[in-house]
A and B are shown apart, each in its own frame.
Chain A
């Protein structure tokens, strides 16, 4: 394999990773923009999607049925999380919400570890093991599924948010909650809806990536955190998140390929820290 095809291969794995982070980042922004809650359990929804599908599949259901069941149960979990832990908080503050969702993530992780153990699990690729050769690099059919998922999510969400009345109401409530409230919009039920939607999207992402990256009880935190990096760098918009996530994925793909695979996660996190500091300096000097 020459250097050129190697580079293409790293780019492909980078873009795949980036698409995953993009969908997760969109989940974070959905919840954050509507409710100002950073839901640190976002990554756990991705993990739950993969693990539940694996569990249902092992119990004898076929892949499609177990995927649908897993998505439904994860959505239910997300809605339950909002109703049981976010809604009853008496003194809402950023810190309280963050602590609660981190604690919830730790509970979900613990329950999964207790039920299914610490082994990594995998699913069969949706369309078999076919590969496409492209400029010397190999692309599996599952990678195309991930790209398709990202395209479907971005297209579907932008149509939903820009063309439907409900979507427009959601955007209004993200821009100005008091104003939206005065127009008869109930922010509490919107928050519930966003948690559910983020849970469903996270679960679908988890199912789609499991044949590529495998799943286990501990994958949620890092995946979720990288989605958060993409959302922050992308400025909490769909387009920005996708661009930032793909850039992040490429950075990781090339970093892991050319520098060190062990330091793969460090690149993304350092990029976030440097970006946050840089953004603060920039806004400070513009004031």
Chain B
């Protein structure tokens, strides 16, 4: 894709996001808010899993930790929400650094198993520390986000904030992938011995991308919890992992924008599913989700391994260039 076409596409997307609230109702704004938040985590998870080849399943953990730290600070009145989000991000950066340093030496299945264990440990830990985190019931009474006297109250405020965060993450990752770190990531995901023989400190770059994506997930988590004004350990565990994986697979993680596309498709598909199933089978909602998306993941992995993004690129005849761009 040449530069002008690409910037035209992004310009159109930006205009669409800005004007959507003007022409649609609060329902669409609410769903699009979730698309932005989940898009932000899915995009950072895509870079971690697909581009850097680090098969970490602990990404929802950083989302949950960021949410919990900022929510606890806000509920106890220790720090205002905006400062709490930053403290949460710093906390997540430190803990992902400390945990990532020994963990990222593991390879393949073993890394996946260890991070999956970490995900469940943090989920159980959050529900067991009742006095601090509110236990299974979760934390209630979280104040809304406010910066310099302006309080984010309506869906519309959060809509713009969430999309700013989402597109900000996308922009940052896009630039990162074309910088020194990004080139190093592409090199070691292709061939680690070759990369390290060229003088790339693979362990350090692995840790760097791990911490950076964890911080993004943490910021998204803080935003999510101040938007819902409620948090619960169940939100950040295995169900979120399956949901993010679905977005990644449906969208296609080989490109940067794929996971965002996946978030959009998955969340809207779920809304439609609930809308139409609600008419036929009034008492089933969440159960049908896991069956439907489980089957969808299997079908896409078997018949369309590149996801929607791979398909879009192929339609525009850009497949070769897309592969060059991400180093696949």
**Which A residues lie at the B interface, using CB under 8 A?**
38, 85, 88-91, 94-96, 98-100, 102-107, 109-111, 113-114, 221-222, 225, 228-229, 232, 260, 262-263, 265-266, 269-270, 272-273, 276-277, 280-281, 284
Contact = CB atoms under 8 A, between A and B. Distances in A.
Interface string B73-110: 00000000000000000000000000000110110111
B302 A225 contact: no
B128 interface: yes
Nearest to B281: A114
A266 B122 CA distance: 9
A280 B55 CA distance: 16
B200 interface: no
A90 B298 CA distance: 12
A91 B294 CA distance: 19
Nearest to A217: B287
Given A95-B55, A280-B105, A107 B124 contact: no
Contact of A272 (B113, B128, B287, B298): B113
A98 B295 CA distance: 14
Contacts of A262: 124, 128
Contact of B103 (A100, A263, A277): A277
B242 A89 contact: no
Nearest to B128: A262
Given A114-B284, A266-B125, A273-B103, 7 more contacts: A94-B108, A102-B245, A103-B245, A106-B294, A110-B288, A232-B110, A272-B113
B305 A91 contact: yes
Contacts of B128: 260, 262-263, 266
B22 interface: no
B120 interface: yes
Given A91-B305, A263-B128, A103 B110 contact: no
Contact of A266 (B108, B121, B289, B305): B121
Nearest to A108: B294
A277 B114 contact: yes
A94 B109 contact: yes
Contact of A277 (B49, B105, B120, B295): B105
B291 A107 contact: yes
User: Which of A103, A105, A225, A276 is the most central at the interface, judged by chain B CB atoms within 10 Å of its CB?
Assistant: A103
A262 B294 CA distance: 30
B72 interface: no
Contacts of B293: 103, 106
B118 interface: yes
Contacts of B116: 225
Given A100-B301, A266-B124, A269-B121, A106 B109 contact: no
Contacts of A270: 117, 121
What are the 5 tightest A-B residue pairs by CB atom distance, in nearest-first order?
A107-B294, A110-B291, A110-B290, A103-B297, A269-B117
A103 B294 contact: yes
Contacts of B302: 85, 88-90, 100
B287 to A, nearest CB: 5
Contacts of B31: none
The secondary structure that dominates the B interface is helix
B113 A263 contact: no
Contacts of A260: 128
B181 interface: no
Contacts of B298: 85, 100, 103-104, 107
A103 B117 CA distance: 18
Nearest to B110: A276
B80 to A, nearest CB: 33
B10 to A, nearest CB: 30
A107 B305 contact: no
Contact of A107 (B108, B121, B295): B295
B297 A99 contact: yes
28 contacts: A85-B298, A89-B301, A89-B302, A90-B302, A91-B305, A95-B49, A99-B245, A100-B298, A102-B242, A104-B298, A107-B295, A109-B290, A110-B290, A110-B291, A114-B287, A232-B113, A262-B124, A265-B120, A266-B121, A269-B117, A270-B121, A272-B117, A273-B103, A273-B121, A276-B113, A277-B106, A280-B106, A281-B102
B238 interface: yes
A109 B293 CA distance: 12
Contacts of B301: 89, 96, 99-100, 103
Contacts of B305: 90-91, 96
B114, B297, B301 interface centre (most CB from chain A within 10 Å)? B301
Contact of A273 (B108, B118, B289, B290): B118
Given A266-B125, A270-B121, A98 B112 contact: yes
B33 to A, nearest CB: 25
A100 B297 contact: yes
B249 interface: yes
Contacts of B102: 277, 281
A270 B284 CA distance: 36
Contact of A284 (B105, B287, B288): B105
A31 B249 CA distance: 24
